[in-house]
Amino acid sequence: MAAKLSGECIECQTPQIKKMVESREKTLHKKNSQEGIRGEQRFTSTKNDPTVAGAAFFALPDPPPILLAVLAPLLALSIYFGQALNPTPAITLLNTMAVSSPTYHELLTNGKPTAVEFWAAWCPDCRESAPTVYRSLYGRDDLNLLSINADEASARALIDYFGVDAIPQINFVDGEGSVSDHVIIGSVRDERELEREVGRLVANRNKFGNDEVDGNWREFLERLEKKT
- The residues near 218 (Cβ < 8 Å, ≥ 6 apart) are 108, 177
Catalytic residue among 107, 126, 137, 188: 126
Catalytic residue among 93, 107, 115, 123: 123
Task: Please count the helices (runs of H) and the strands (runs of E) in the chain.
Answer: 9, 4
- Residue 9 falls in the annotated catalytic set: no
CA distances from 63 to 50, 67, 74, 111 (A): 20, 7, 16, 53
Cα–Cα distance measured from residue 81 to residue 87, given in angstroms and rounded to the nearest whole number: 10
Please state whether 215 falls in left (phi above 0), alpha (psi between -120 and 50) or beta. left
Closest C-alpha among 186, 216, 210, 180 to residue 198: 180
Residues with catalytic function? 123, 126
